[in-house]
Amino acid sequence: MPARSADHYVAPVDETPIASVDAVDLDEKPSNLWIDAWRDLRRRPMFWISGALIAFIVFVALFPGLFTSTPPNSGCLLANSNAGPTAGHPFGFTKQGCDIYSRVIHGASTSLSVGVIVILLTTITGIIFGALSGFFGGFVDTVLMRAGDIFFSIPYILAAVVIMSVFSENRNILVIALAIGVFAWPTTARVLRSEVLRVKNADFVMAATSTGLSRFGILFKHVLPNSIAPVIVVTTLSLGAAITAEATLSFLGVGLPTIEFMSWGNDISQAQRDLRTDPQTLIIPSIALTTTVLSFILLGEALRDALDPKARALR
């Protein structure tokens, strides 16, 4: 029997232009993790609100003289003890007759200074330990992570209380920051280690290895930049925790000296006895502390959602 042939329809070229199918859209905006995160952040009110609050608090901490000319300690009169608001003193006075508004303004500088030093210490130490541990593995991972476990098992508030008690005659911003930061870095190291373990097996790392790049070159040029996003989130959240830790130590009486440094924790501690009769002496510094810590927490939450592609996809 003769073979049966089937007719094949071929569409005209002008109706199915091949060039349009394979063409690259040159007008499409480039995209990567950071660009996608920024596009997500700029649409979120929480990011702008927390960012504006943090910017304002930082400005107050850097330039307190623009907001008050009243010294926070000197000029305190017992005649003004627990007095209410007056002209030039919108929040009233403490039990010692000091201006509450001035002490709150100057206390911002102390809290942020301690927080920044703690974050620098914990972030640098955590990045070094976490990157080396996750990338090299083996003996290096075992030694570094066991060292981290030792520090992680000690509550850093308790350790800071002991350290500040030992150095009671030399209590200052640097000492209290070191007392907190020395025991707070393992969290950053653990987060970065887990991310490095994920990234180091990626195809681009294998490609960099095939080019003959050294292991440290691969770590710093390829692995670490692609693993740093979770560390940024942890750092933002930890800054609020560091400010809280400083206030806690001052509240317990082992923090910064009351006479030399303005501390919201000290003011809250001294005002707790007058809560029923003069609540403003406790409420005002508590609001300042809560607002500052909450601002960093909200910013950290926004960054966490923006830097997580899975979280963005679910929204």
Please report where in the chains the tokens 């923090």 appear, as a residue: 255
Instruction: Please give the structure tokens belonging to residue 195.
Output: 């991310």
- Which structural domains are found in the chain, ordered by start? 34-61+71-314 (1.10.3720.10)
Mean pLDDT (the chain) is 85
CA atoms of 69 and 88, how far apart (whole Å): 10
Residue 3 has pLDDT above 60, yes or no: no
What is the CB neighbour count within 10 angstroms for residue 68?
A: 19
Contact predicate 186/170, CB 8 Å:
no
Where do the H-state alpha helices sit in 72-137? 100-136
Residue 195 has pLDDT above 60, yes or no: yes
Q: What is the pLDDT of residues 162-192, one digit of tens each?
A: 888 888 888 889 999 998 988 889 999 999 9
Where do the H-state alpha helices sit in the chain? 18-22, 33-41, 45-62, 100-136, 138-152, 156-166, 173-181, 186-199, 203-210, 215-218, 229-251, 264-271, 280-306, 309-314
Q: What is the pLDDT of residue 29?
A: 59
Q: What is the pLDDT of residue 80?
A: 83
Angstrom CA distances, 142 to 138, 139, 145, 149, stand at: 6, 5, 5, 10
What is the CB neighbour count within 10 angstroms for residue 154?
A: 13
Please report where in the chains the tokens 């075992």 appear, as a residue: 142
Q: What is the pLDDT of residue 1?
A: 52
Q: What is the pLDDT of residue 306?
A: 84
Q: What is the pLDDT of residues 84-115, one digit of tens each?
A: 888 888 888 888 888 899 999 999 999 999 99
CA atoms of 263 and 111, how far apart (whole Å): 7
